[in-house]
Structure 1
Amino acid sequence: MAKVRIYELAKELEVSSKELITVLMDEFGVEAKNHMSVIDEEDADLIKELYSEQQKEAADKKEIIEEYESKINEEITKQQSKNSKRRKSAAVRKAEAEKAEETPDEVIELDETIIVKDLADKLKKPVVEVIKGLIFQGVMASVNQEIDFNTAEKLIESYGSFAVLKESNVGEIAKEQEDEIDDVNEEVSEDTQVKRPPIVTIMGHVDHGKTSLLDAIKESKVTATEAGGITQHIGAYTVDLNGEKITFLDTPGHEAFTAMRARGAQVTDIVILVVAADDGIMPQTVEAINHCKAAEVPMIIAINKMDKESANPDRVKQELTEYGLLAEDWGGDTICVPVSAHTKQGLDTLLEMIVLTAEMQELKADPNRRAKGTVIEAKLDKGRGPVASILVQNGTLKSGDSIIVGTTYGRIRAMIDDKGAKTKAAGPSIPVEILGLSEVPSAGDRFTVVKDEKTARNMADARKEKIRQEHFQTSNRVSMENLYNQIQEGKVKELSVIVKADVQGSVEAVRQSIEKLSAETVKVRVIHGAVGAITETDVSLAYASNAIIIGFNVRPDNNAIAIAERDGVEIKTYRIIYDALDDIKSAMIGMLDPEYKEVVIGRAEARQVYKISSVGTIAGCYILNGKLTRNCKVRVLRDNIVIAESTLASLKRFKDDAKEVAAGFECGLSVEKFNDIKEGDIIEGYIMEEIKPKGL
């Protein structure tokens, strides 16, 4: 085969011999020592083909660049002709030309995106040259087009400079805005303060008639739509009483929703504690009392179900004294009103007591300032997007206002009052439903009106970043300080749960209730909780985290069901929270390491020993007590000392295999992997019986 010298091929290809040697070594793996080295003609043809393709690509690229440059020059010419009246002086143009010829700065600060024209100014290069450089990178961009930081960084480095990402001052701006909000909140002027309606929360034990009492007051029917007669969501309603407005905040009476009741006490002025006259003080009643005392909120005791024959209000008053509440007619300062939601007995007196208590508190607010308040409830509506029920506590909220709600922001597109009618403004103590938020906020989040949506977005981003940093700092990482503690804990099993619900308040309450089920042996951890249907993303997370999915008043979509079946992910849906907690307890008990106890089933004495070469040692035994079963575990005792533990290899009666041999009978047996049985040895048979855990 003909040979070709490297320098001849380089001359033909119009490249240097050194460059050709590098290509041969890198691309073709051909060892070439110097320009006088020879290669096969076949390799030479391949190299010629490679270079011809590269030249063709370069020619095509050059043609594209020339065509693009001509278009750019035409645009620039047109722009210059339009701005001919505003042309700069010759001296200014000369200064700019000199500036363009200057070398760029060594370090250039950039935002996450930059317009090509601005990049050219920073590089102190003509726009055409910058566009040409971008084309060589494979990026087709016009003068006014934005490019990302990575693209700009590569171009800047090609000019021998360095690009750095400009640090965002969002955090500083947000901090200033947070301080501004705090300052506004602190501004209190008696001249601008006016009387506001009281915010009343109804609390009490499940099935003591809280919702029925509220129904009787506002003459609506809420209970009929609730599962199991339990109020699962928080709602707020405003009623008029002789020209006086009262806002009622209805919290669930379910024992699992302690967190929601506690949140209600934080935003309320007066608490109506409903106690059934025929039932008395119950565990959740005690919880409600404790929440109210902690929040220092005045209580009015509504002794409900007075229409029943078994009603005993004096017993209720007596039980209240055990918790430091003494009725007014008994010489104390706790207002107790006997009522009946069924017959509407005592409702007028109850409302009068609310108005009287509110007057004593002198509840006031400034309606002419920026609004602030609390989210009562939030959900994701299929047609309307994120919807939040909020309670204005100060100021006046208007349609079109920009608000920051926890880590969420938005501009109010619409406001709906508790009667379902659209409204343009809501003053102090008025509950409304708002649309226009970027995400579903958490129930209990505080909201504040800010000057514009950009400010709200910056503050929300800053809060999210702060929460993220705090999460990283508190994550359970092994360090020298906690290493010993983690070793001491040993291997702790963990049940991971994903919670999805129809409203945010339910998510929070279910999350807290589930996590309270943690025991020493099994830890329950809610790895994700959100509003909305169970989706493919939830199933994927459950599959990756080995978790179960709990749905509360929501269902999985078809795709989620299919993927869950394929991946073996368990999805449980509930309407009553009791059922969910019971199932999780069962799951936790199932996860506990089973406990075993040893049960001796029988003892046999070896009375004669036979050694068979092909089988091993066979012992002729007499069953002393109990029985021996085939394949049971055995231990061999000699002088009451255990000399071997194994399993029965065979058990026979005469020549036939036996499943078991009872006391008083003889048998032949062999012990697996043990042939040193002697006459007089005791073979003790036993089984390991699992003890099923009954609870935590």
Structure 2
Amino acid sequence: MVTINQSVDYDTACIVAEEFGAKVTKEVVVSIEERLFEEVEDTEENLQPRSPVVVVMGHVDHGKTSLLDRIRHANVTSGEAGGITQHIGAYRVKAGGRDITFLDTPGHEAFTAMRARGALATDIAILVVAADDGIMSQTVEAINHAKAANLSIIVAINKMDKPTANPDKVKQELTEHGLVCEEWGGNVICVPVSAKTGEGIDELLEMVNLTADVLELKANPDRLAKGVVIEARIDKGRGPIATVLVQSGTLHTGDTIIAGTAVGRVRVMRDDKGKAVKEAGPSVPVEIMGLAEVPSAGDDFAAVEDEKLARELVEKRKFDAKEEQFKLYKKVSLDNLFSQIEEGSMKKLPIIVKADVQGSVEAVSQSLSKLSNDEVKVEVIHGAVGAVTESDVMLAKASGAIIVGFNVRPNPAAADNAKRDGVDIRLYRVIYDAIEEIETAMKGMLAPKYREVDTGRVEVRQVMKLSSVGVVAGSYVLDGKVQRNGEVRVVRDGIIVAVDKIAGLRRFKDDVKEVAAGYECGITLEKFTDIKDGDIFEAFVTEEYRD
């Protein structure tokens, strides 16, 4: 039996309608995205080879920038004396008669932000490791970022011109992080280079081309452009400017494009040399003018035919972004972990481990990995020694991970970012506490937490002993308020001497529920009787809370 207020599925409605001799057709709901973006599958004939997109990563002083400069200037033709006139965050160089696009995002920030939005803009990562220094903390982070984004990794062992260079040590350290060089029977290309002398640069570029051949990178240039925003800024004279990387199709001057929550028409397009161009094909980075506002780095962009519909979609996206803000609490934390497992939305629990010593990192990582069960796989995606940093929080945000700190603290900026992004940071002193808490969270038995909320401060002015009620503290409420069902800390000379419950609260001869600041009252406590003149009662209530 179905009432007038209930919905029925299409098949049932169809049978009922046919009983009454009515003809039924199913309504097809088409979203704005489906109407706006052409989702045509590219056939093998349409696809043409495209140049690889390469990102250079590594530790802070291992020579990323020097290597980029060497590659760039070694391959800039003499007609372009002075190199690149306008630096747009990406550039193309010719090697072996073929183009290679380099993304100038050596910092992890832009790279993680891109990955967080699923914009896998790059195909190959060049990992720069100094031959005299070996693998450092940021190198490990770079490896984890590259692996998480499923990039092909080429290792450039830099600073080979130094007398203390030891490439074998670097190769040995790489194996500890799952990267085994080809000479040692693995599948990772390791190229010794020197950004200073130029040694090995040509071989490195050759290896990039070789890796690109293996990946068989192809795209269809004969369609509306799609790609990703590399960086964006506002220019005083020219307004919003975005550097975009075209991934498929061809972008033309005059095209209407939508990037995240920004929409506009391409007025001027410049290449990495600062030269105005009319069109840009796959794997070509260009700087464009004409957007109404500044998009975010990592936003997808697409050229569209219907500008009115594009503006409608932007409004919808802005509304959805606001809605997303309200849903932030849905981010995984130990408190909502079990409910997410029950909903089936949680198949993997990524964890970032930070500890005071390497031994602890390994111990915590191994112990947590063993907690995996049929429903949830606990995966330690990054482990390192030292405080919880902004980079850890970024990686956690991008991967939906929980940060577990063992004998360490987050630095203030990391704590602020975690609070803003809804990243769960758990700090422990005892390894068993960490294991137990995550295990109980997975079973849905995480005990509620309690905190004390101060409600007011009361000064004891005169202590009276009455035969009927016992010791009464004649008091004056200094600030806040004191409540009859509350608790108090009895503070004497800055030291807490007792914590007790309020048994009675009176003003003159009347029992009252609460007394506000600036009023006098009589207070009796349940157990504590050794009250002295001048004692301070700090009134508080205990409340349950969730992170």
TM class by smaller structure = 0.5 to 0.7
| Conserved? CA contact 1:174–1:455, under 8 Å | no
* Compared CA separation, residues 274 and 261, structure 1 to 2 (3 A): farther
| Conserved? CA contact 1:275–1:285, under 8 Å | yes
Give the greater-gyration-radius structure (CA).
Answer: 1
Matching residue's letter, 1:377: E
- Superposition map of 1:12-411 within 5 A: 176-180=31-35, 184-219=38-73, 235-253=89-107, 259-260=112-113, 262=115, 266-411=120-265
Counterpart secondary structure, 2:266: strand
* Compared CA separation, residues 440 and 343, structure 1 to 2 (3 A): same
| Conserved? CA contact 2:232–2:296, under 8 Å | yes
More RCO (CA 8 Å, sep 6+): 2
* Compared CA separation, residues 643 and 388, structure 1 to 2 (3 A): same
Give, in whole Å, the separation in 2 of the partners of 1:458 and 1:258. 30
Counterpart secondary structure, 1:219: helix
- Runs ≥4 in structure 1, deviation > 6 angstroms? 508-511, 513-520, 526-529, 631-636
Deviations 1:333-371, CA, capped at 9 Å, x for gaps:
110000010111100100110111111111111111110
The one of 484, 503, 524 equivalent to 2:416 is 524
Name stretches of at least 5 consecutive residues in structure 2 with no aligned partner: 1-26, 76-86, 340-389, 398-402, 404-408, 422-452, 454-491, 498-527, 537-547
Deviations 1:667-686, CA, capped at 9 Å, x for gaps:
xxxxx99xxxxxxxxxxxxx
Shift of 1:514: 12
| Conserved? CA contact 2:52–2:217, under 8 Å | yes
Deviations 1:24-70, CA, capped at 9 Å, x for gaps:
xxxxxxxxxxxxxxxxxxxxxxxxxxxxxxxxxxxxxxxxxxxxxxx
Name stretches of at least 5 consecutive residues in structure 1 with no aligned partner: 1-171, 222-232, 486-507, 530-592, 594-630, 648-671, 674-696
Counterpart secondary structure, 1:344: coil
Give, in whole Å, the separation in 1 of the partners of 2:67 and 2:309. 43
| Greater share of residues in helix | 1
The number of equivalent residue pairs is 332
* Compared CA separation, residues 186 and 210, structure 1 to 2 (3 A): farther
Deviations 1:502-547, CA, capped at 9 Å, x for gaps:
xxxxxx9899499988799x96369999xxxxxxxxxxxxxxxxxx
RMSD: 4.0
Matching residue's letter, 1:524: D
Counterpart secondary structure, 1:421: coil
* Compared CA separation, residues 646 and 466, structure 1 to 2 (3 A): same
* Compared CA separation, residues 290 and 408, structure 1 to 2 (3 A): same
- Superposition map of 1:385-534 within 5 A: 385-474=239-328, 512=394, 524=416
Shift of 1:471: 3.0
Counterpart secondary structure, 1:288: helix
* Compared CA separation, residues 310 and 472, structure 1 to 2 (3 A): same
Counterpart secondary structure, 1:345: coil
Give, in whole Å, the separation in 2 of the partners of 1:196 and 1:633. 72
Matching residue's letter, 2:123: D
Matching residue's letter, 1:376: I
Give, in whole Å, the separation in 2 of the partners of 1:524 and 1:635. 32
| Conserved? CA contact 1:370–1:449, under 8 Å | yes
Deviations 1:280-319, CA, capped at 9 Å, x for gaps:
1112111221222222211110000111111100000001
| Conserved? CA contact 1:234–1:252, under 8 Å | no
Give, in whole Å, the separation in 1 of the partners of 2:495 and 2:292. 69
Counterpart secondary structure, 2:120: helix
TM-score for both structures, normalised by structure 1: 0.43
Matching residue's letter, 1:259: T
| Conserved? CA contact 2:88–2:287, under 8 Å | no
Deviations 1:408-451, CA, capped at 9 Å, x for gaps:
11111110110011111000000001111111101000011110
* Compared CA separation, residues 330 and 438, structure 1 to 2 (3 A): same
| Conserved? CA contact 1:265–1:292, under 8 Å | no
| Conserved? CA contact 1:634–1:646, under 8 Å | no
Give, in whole Å, the separation in 1 of the partners of 2:74 and 2:66. 9
Counterpart secondary structure, 1:422: coil
Counterpart secondary structure, 1:355: helix
